[in-house]
Amino acid sequence: MRILRTPEERFADLPDFPYEPRYADVPDGLRMAYVVAGPADGEPVVLLHGEPSWSFLYRHVMPELAAAGLRAIAVDLVGFGRSDKPADQAEHTYARHVEWTRALLFDALGLSRVTVVGQDWGGLIGLRIAAEHPGSVARIVAANTGLPTGDIPMPEVWHRFRNAVLKAPALDIARLVQAGCRTELSKEVRAAYDAPFPDESYKAGPRVMPSLVPITPDDPAAPANRAAWQVLTTLERPFLVAFSDGDPITGGMAPILLKSISGTSGLRHPVIKGAGHFLQEDAGAELGRQIAAFVTST
């Protein structure tokens, strides 16, 4: 595996992101990065980002969790942020991303009673981890995400996004993030989203992730996702559905999760107003307050 590592100087002067990076080794000789906020003895809340962002996305969520006495742990997925980047798209598989993230959380960091928060690909990975390791998970938060099995068609807007990412001669990471936001990103914030990728050779992860989403019933990841659904539907863990009111990609998943997963029963599920796909960017503080209230009350 040919592995690229973004030079640290690329991450200088990140706006509103003062957290010192931490690192841990995971399988296949890779190093994953994460940042932490809040008391060391606080309940751990793991924040998993999606495509094509990184832990910087949670910079307005983390202070709210820390203020509530929780331990916020925002992870950079392999291929993103400060984490190592396999240069060959073929090295990225759904199963590997689940295993790399699992190894970080439970083997390297030794976490238990975790609240897993996932948005976009962070949910595709986090929901699998929660279903496959329920003894280590206390709660789950799904925010603009889902767990596709290929049995239900994806919306046309998602197919357009997938094709654009695969075929673009040069992948404009900041533009992709901006397209999923309701608010206008400053040039400093756009630069922060571009920072992990000095050139096109570093972008195998963002390039390939859309094509790893199961869109046909015979996709290699479909059986594992179906098995995860079977666990999640009856798992006795509080499950919060915290979607925005303006996400054309995953918005249709919210009612499915609420109807199918028993852990959603009896909870008040917020709709984050005025936010797009990247609700952490549009309404991060509000999302953080909703997560904190959920964790501290269940």
The set of catalytic residues is 120, 247, 277
In 3D space, the residue among 151, 157, 140 whose CA is nearest the CA of residue 231 turns out to be 140
Helix, strand, or coil here: 157? helix
* CB-based contact 227:147 (threshold 8 Å): no
CA distances from 280 to 43, 203, 236, 275 (A): 21, 22, 27, 8
Phi/psi of residue 142, each to 5°? -105, 120
CA distances from 122 to 59, 127, 187, 246, 267 (A): 16, 8, 25, 19, 22
- Tokens 């509530």: give the residue: 68
Phi/psi of residue 46, each to 5°? -90, 125
Q: What is the dihedral of CA 151, 143, 241, 284, to 10 degrees?
A: -170
Length of the chain: 298
Sign of the CA dihedral 47, 86, 19, 178? negative
Phi/psi of residue 47, each to 5°? -110, 115
How far is the C-alpha of 125 from the C-alpha of 138, rounded, in Å?
16
